[in-house]
């Protein structure tokens, strides 16, 4: 399963946010693929399309799709030189597919800031520098090894060194590897390095309880927005402390609390959706009277492999897929009307599943 790692300097609110995530807790019986680990929290992806399908089908059960957040505490300045538990944490970051970088935007004199002042950009750059230094180390070593192979004249090695040199130059200019425009082939050449600064990032701007309803005019958040815009990254303003409280509530209590705060939905929901998008994931649905369920695939997945997410037997015995887009089904109001309108298609094994497809698989057992 894909994972998003939560990183940030000490005392910015990572644990608080992670608590909210585990409190909100997914029904783990539904997600047997998920890791059981105190540093991993499973979250369900809120999706209004799922609610609409439930209206249309009225199923016995509803299962949203889910992914994992990993709490990667302890990243401090000097980590790449082995400060603190440096290398161990960098190794954890290497294993995640995307990074949620928590940045302190709340002022509270009782809570020490490691640098002695609130300066979100400085904080971001401190962490980024550690990741860049760690990547420089990987790239330098790799270039050295590849150079030795260059003598063989292998064209692939030549290309690889070329790409590595470009990455190196970016890193030495304090730019993350993801800021380079690399083709898919070029990315493939350096994939084995699992560069930390190649991973997609979003910034979670942790604001105080008092400021949660209006973050548009928050000076700190706006600085983060400006910084993030330059690297095409998204910013999710959130109050970790408020989220911790929200996560303890349910149903009407939750709705009332959100209303009091002036929020349409929890910040956690917004964060989950943003992280899901960052991971580059698509959702397709199955909608039967027993169960309406959302499933996760990577973009570009073909129908049999998408079926395989449900069960390997579905992939092995795949015959055809009966597919209607969510939008068509929602507008039609029922599967029968969608069929009358000719919107339900039969697709074969080469069909590339789209985000929002509602699918009924036909397979041999």
Interface residues toward ligand GDP, by CB under 6 A: 8, 10-16, 73, 106, 108, 111, 206, 208-209, 239-241
Provide, rounded to whole angstroms, the least separation between the CB of residue 172 and ligand GDP: 29
Q: For tokens 């699992």, what's the residue?
A: 194
Minimum CB distance to ligand GDP smaller for 218 or for 286: 218
Minimum CB distance to ligand GDP smaller for 125 or for 330: 125
Q: Which two tokens stand for residue 217?
A: 């005019």
Provide, rounded to whole angstroms, the least separation between the CB of residue 106 and ligand GDP: 4
CA distance 17 to 150: 48
Known binding residue 208? Answer is: no
- Order across the sheet with 201-206: list the strands: 40-44, 66-71, 3-7, 98-104, 201-206, 234-238
Provide, rounded to whole angstroms, the least separation between the CB of residue 342 and ligand GDP: 52
Provide, rounded to whole angstroms, the least separation between the CB of residue 109 and ligand GDP: 10
Provide, rounded to whole angstroms, the least separation between the CB of residue 1 and ligand GDP: 24
CA distance 326 to 213: 32
Known binding residue 28? Answer is: no
Minimum CB distance to ligand GDP smaller for 7 or for 66: 7
Minimum CB distance to ligand GDP smaller for 6 or for 26: 6
Known binding residue 19? Answer is: no
Q: Residue 286: helix, strand or coil by DSSP?
A: strand
Provide, rounded to whole angstroms, the least separation between the CB of residue 184 and ligand GDP: 36
Known binding residue 11? Answer is: yes
CA distance 290 to 311: 17
CA distance 22 to 26: 8
Known binding residue 116? Answer is: no
Provide, rounded to whole angstroms, the least separation between the CB of residue 125 and ligand GDP: 17
Minimum CB distance to ligand GDP smaller for 114 or for 310: 114
Q: In b/e form, how buried is each residue of 178-200, taking b as 16+ CB within 10 angstroms?
A: bebebeeebeebbeebebbbbbb
Minimum CB distance to ligand GDP smaller for 14 or for 142: 14
Task: Judge residue 85's burial from the number of C-beta atoms within 10 Å of its C-beta, 0-12 exposed, 13-18 middle, 19 or more buried.
Answer: middle
Do residues 206 and 239 touch, judged by C-beta distance below 8 A? yes
Minimum CB distance to ligand GDP smaller for 220 or for 361: 220
Minimum CB distance to ligand GDP smaller for 143 or for 213: 213
Count other Cβ atoms within 10 Å, centred on residue 159: 13
Known binding residue 14? Answer is: yes
Do residues 295 and 309 touch, judged by C-beta distance below 8 A? yes
Residues 6+ apart with CB under 8 A from 336: none
CA distance 92 to 79: 12
CA distance 235 to 175: 19
Provide, rounded to whole angstroms, the least separation between the CB of residue 45 and ligand GDP: 23
List residues forming the annotated binding site for ATP.
Answer: 11-16
List residues forming the annotated binding site.
Answer: 11-16
């Amino acid at each position: 399963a894909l994972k998003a790692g939560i990183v940030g300097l000490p005392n910015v609110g990572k644990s608080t946010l992670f608590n909210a995530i585990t409190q909100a807790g997914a029904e783990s019986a539904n997600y047997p693929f998920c890791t059981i680990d105190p540093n991993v929290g499973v979250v369900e992806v809120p999706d209004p399309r799922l609610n609409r399908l439930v209206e249309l089908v009225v199923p016995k059960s509803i299962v949203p799709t889910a992914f994992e957040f990993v709490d990667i505490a302890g990243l401090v300045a000097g980590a790449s030189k082995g400060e603190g538990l440096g290398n161990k944490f960098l190794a954890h970051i290497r294993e995640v597919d995307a990074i949620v970088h928590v940045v302190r935007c709340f002022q509270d004199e009782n809570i020490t800031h490691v640098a002695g002042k609130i300066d979100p950009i400085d904080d971001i750059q401190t962490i980024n520098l550690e990741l860049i230094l760690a990547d420089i180390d990987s790239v330098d070593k790799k270039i050295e090894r590849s150079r030795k192979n260059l003598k063989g004249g292998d064209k692939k090695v030549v290309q690889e060194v070329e790409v590595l040199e470009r990455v190196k130059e970016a890193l030495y200019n304090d730019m993350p590897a993801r800021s380079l425009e690399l083709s898919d082939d070029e990315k493939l050449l350096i994939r084995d390095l699992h560069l930390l600064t190649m991973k997609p990032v979003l910034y979670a701007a942790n604001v105080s309880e008092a400021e949660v309803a209006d973050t548009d005019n928050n000076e700190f958040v706006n600085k983060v927005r400006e910084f993030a815009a330059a690297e095409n990254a998204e910013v999710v303003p959130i109050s970790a402390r408020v989220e911790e409280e929200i996560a303890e509530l349910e149903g009407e209590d939750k709705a009332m609390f959100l209303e009091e705060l002036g929020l349409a939905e929890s910040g956690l929901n917004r964060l989950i959706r943003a992280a899901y998008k960052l991971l580059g994931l698509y959702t397709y649905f199955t909608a039967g009277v027993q169960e309406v369920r959302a499933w996760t695939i990577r973009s570009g997945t073909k129908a049999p492999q998408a079926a395989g997410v449900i069960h390997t037997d579905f992939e092995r015995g795949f015959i055809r897929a009966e597919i209607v887009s969510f939008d068509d089904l929602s507008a039609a109001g029922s599967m029968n009307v969608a069929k009358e309108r000719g919107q339900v298609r039969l697709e074969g094994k080469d069909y590339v599943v789209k985000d929002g497809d509602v699918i009924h698989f036909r397979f041999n057992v």
